[in-house]
Amino acid sequence: MKEQKSKYNKERLTEPKAIAILDSAEELILEGGINSLSISKIATKAKIAKGTVYLYFEDKEHIIGTIAIRARKLFLDYIEKYTEGKIDPLEKMKGIFWADFYFSQEQKRYHQLITFYEQNTGLDESGELASMGKNISIYIKSIIDNAIEKKAIRDEFDSASLTFMFWGMVVGMNQLMETRKNQLKFTLDKSPEEFFTFFVDTTVDNLT
C-alpha cells in the first residue's frame, strides 16, 4: 500500500494563509510573549477561521517550531556578520558572543523563541529545525578550531565542548542582564554593553 502523504509539508508554508498565520503568531509573541499564544488568538489575528490554521499546522508547538526555524536562520546570519572579515582568531571568537548580544537586542522575539526551545527540551526538534541548530554549532566550532590551529588559544581545549559551553554561557548571560538591569546600573554603574564587554573579554582572554 502506498504511504499517504502528510498534509503538513514544507511547500504549503509558502502559501499566503500559512504566511499570515506565522506572521500573526510572531506579532502575538511580540505583544504578549510565547506563553500567551493560542490557536484562537492566531486565527483572530490572521483573520481566518480557526479550522484553517489546522490545515497548515498540527498545533501551537508546530507553529512555534516553524518560526524558530526562521529565528535560527537569522541568528546564523548575525554570527556570520559579526565574525566574517575578522582576521584575528580571538576577535572572531568574540564575534560569536557579540552576535548573540545584538541578536537579543535587535530581534527580541526571535531570541525569545530560541531560548524557549532551549528550555523546553520536550518539544520536538527534528528536520529543518534540528538541521539549523546543527549548522550553527558547526559554524561556531569551525571558528574555535581555527583559533586552536593558529595557536591563538591553548590546544588542550576540545572545540566541541567549547562550542556547547559558549552557547550556554551567552544564553545565561543575556538572561542575567535582562533580569538584573537595575543592579547593572546602580550597583556596577555599567550599561549592558559595558558589562557584556567585560564578560566577553574575560572569557576569551582566559583561553589563551
Specify the CATH number for the domain of residue 47.
Answer: 1.10.10.60
- The whole-model pTM stands at 0.80
Count Cβ atoms below 10 Å from residue 59 Cβ, excluding itself: 11
Per residue in 75-95, pLDDT tens? 999 999 999 989 999 999 999
Residues 150 and 191 placed together within one structural domain of the fold: yes
- Is residue 96 within 8 Å of residue 140, measured between CB atoms? yes
Range of the domain at 150: 69-205
Per residue in 106-155, pLDDT tens? 988 788 777 776 666 555 566 777 788 889 999 999 999 999 999 999 99
Rounded CA gap, 179 and 177, in Å?
A: 6
Q: Please classify residue 82 by burial: count the beta carbons closer than 10 Å to its beta carbon, then call 0-12 exposed, 13-18 middle and 19+ buried.
A: buried
Residues 141 and 96 placed together within one structural domain of the fold: yes
Residues 96 and 25 placed together within one structural domain of the fold: no
Q: Which amino acid is at 32?
A: G
Residues 120 and 159 placed together within one structural domain of the fold: yes
Residues 89 and 38 placed together within one structural domain of the fold: no
Residues 134 and 185 placed together within one structural domain of the fold: yes
Residues 73 and 172 placed together within one structural domain of the fold: yes
